[in-house]
Each structure stands twice: as structure tokens, then as C-alpha cells.
Amino acid sequence: MESNFWEQLKKPFFALAPMDDVTDFPFRTMLARHGKPDVMWTEFVSADGLLHPVGRQALLPKLEYDGEIERPIVAQIFSASPEKIRQAAYLIADLGFDGVDINMGCPDKAINDQGAGAALIKDPSLSAELVIAAKEGVSSHHHPIPVSVKTRIGWNKDELDTWLPVLLETNPAAITIHARTRKEMSKVPAKWDRVTRAVEIAKGSGVLIIGNGDVTDLADGRAKAKETGADGIMIGRASLGNPWVFNARKKNVAIGDKLHALVEHAELFERFYGEGRKFEVMRKFSKAYVSGFDHAKDLRISLMEARDVAEVRRIVREYLAADGACLKP
């Protein structure tokens, strides 16, 4: 029998948006420790790659998670092949995830050229096949899990009124609507009135609608949920450098707290990846933590040169000492 965690969530619920090269294990661990969302999402992973012996070993770290602190957690996959999606969905269930999500919204050209991501909006028939295939894959597992979809309102233009019913016909557990077209990328404000329309279209279907795009914090998310009627709200970019974004009790974050969190994140990064990933990747997170306060620019410049967590710790310690504070042990 399918274990559907979606049915247990209090509305409106809040979810972490999947972001490639961002929502990895160290990043999600930071959120789990400081302000856990109602639903976690992994980075997206190629279903085709997961089913290749060499590719699987390279991609499995993207699917690493801590079942004690991250649940419910959804793994996101992408492909234009129903058979690959079917097999990958089974694998996701086998890895113990609480749900599997199909990416039908990524605007990246390389992904779209494969016929995957947002390109699927142009092929409604194939898109429906993919959802059905994923549902077949998880239903064949001894512990079936729910299937969801994350998409946009259209390719070059708004096609929500024709596109969403195609997905609803396949009856996924939830559909996340990024309220922009693929052409718009993230260059224009999200059109939240289209989330309202999505809720109207989905009414009576039993499919949950999650709104996504430009949500700054919990208060903003609650306001958007009330305005649109969305069952859930997804937060993405606002979580960078702010592991408290889902924490209703943490409204004002001190500079010292941000810098201690940066060091903690760097320690998690180095511990998880070791020498398997260049520490330079950590720089985008450092930049996000260090902003909006005096001398932040100078501190960022120093941190951009850090080659390991020891250097991050030293730079932060020196900055705090100059301000009469100290780094937590």
C-alpha cells in the first residue's frame, strides 16, 4: 500500500525548492538543524544517468540523505524516456525516499535539448506517459511512494489552461507551479495570479497545488497561500545563506549567527565531500551568508580565496575578534 505523506501535511505547508548544485546533503542538513521545512527536495538527478553503472556511482551522492532528520524527503529526477523514468522511480523508492518528483520545469538548454525539463511542456502526450511510467515504477515496489511533478506555466507563452489539465489527468499527488514560462526564466516577477488559476483548475481533482517563485520568507509565503488558495508554498533562492528561512521563531538573525552558520556549513561540506569535490563550490554559499552588514564586501573577498574549512574558520574568527566577538568552538 502506498505511503502518502502528502495527506498528513497541515496546509499551507512549506517545501524546499530543488536547486541544482545547491540543495545537496550539507545544505539540507543546515536547514534540518536550523529551520526544517515541511518537505525536503533533493537536487534533480538524471534518470538516464542513474541507470548507467558509471553514472549511478557519480550521481548517488546527490541522493544522500539523513532519514532521521530530513523526512519527508522527495527525490527529483528528469528524463524524456518513460522506461528510464519507470526504472529510476523504482530505484528512488528502493532508496527509501518518501516521494519522487519529475522535473518538467528546468529551463537549462542542455536539459531541454534532451527533450526533458521544461521542454516537456511542448510534448503533453510524452509528459503524461512519464508520470504514468513513474507511478508504475513505484507501484511495483514493496513500499510504493507518491509521484509529483514540478513545472512552469508554459514554454514561450502562458499555456496553463491547456497544460495543467494534461498533468491532472495522470493524477499525481502534487504539482508545483513555478509561476513563469520557460522563456521568462527568472527574469520577470512570478505571476502568482496563475497559481490562483491553477488552484481553480485543480479543484476537485485531489491533486495538491504548490506555488513557487520569488517567495522571500514564511510571512510572504503564508500571504501568497491565502491569496491563491495554494495547498503549499515552495521557497528556493531565499534559503541561500539563510538556513532559518523556514524557522518561524527566528525572525532576526545576528551577523554572528550568520558567520557561525557559514563555518558550520563549510565543515559539513568538507566532511561530506572530502577531496571528492572542489572546495571552491562552497564560495557561492559563503557569498550568500555574507551580505547586508558593515564590511561584508571585504569579508566576502577574503572568503572567496579560502581553500578549505580551516581558512574559512580563520577568516571568520579574525573578523569576529575585530568586532570583540569570538567563534563558537
Hey, which residues are catalytic here?
A: 106
C-alpha to C-alpha distance for 36 and 243, rounded to whole angstroms: 8
Question: 154 — alpha (psi -120 to 50), left (phi > 0) or beta?
Answer: left
CA 232 to chain centre: 14
Q: Give 298's contacts (C-beta < 8 A, 6+ positions apart).
A: none
CA 68 to chain centre: 19
Reported as type and span, the H/E element at residue 196 is: helix 192-202
Alpha-carbon torsion (141, 146, 151, 154), positive or negative: positive
Give the single-character DSSP code of 282. G
Q: Give 89's contacts (C-beta < 8 A, 6+ positions apart).
A: 47, 77, 100, 133, 134, 135, 136, 137, 138, 147
C-alpha to C-alpha distance for 276 and 304, rounded to whole angstroms: 20
Q: What one-letter code names the amino acid at 328? A: K
DSSP-based three-state secondary structure for 237: helix
DSSP-based three-state secondary structure for 61: helix
Find the length of the chain: 329
Residue 236 C-alpha cell reads as: 528556493
Q: What is the DSSP string of 27-58?
A: HHHHHHHH---SBEEEEEEEHHHHTSHHHHHH
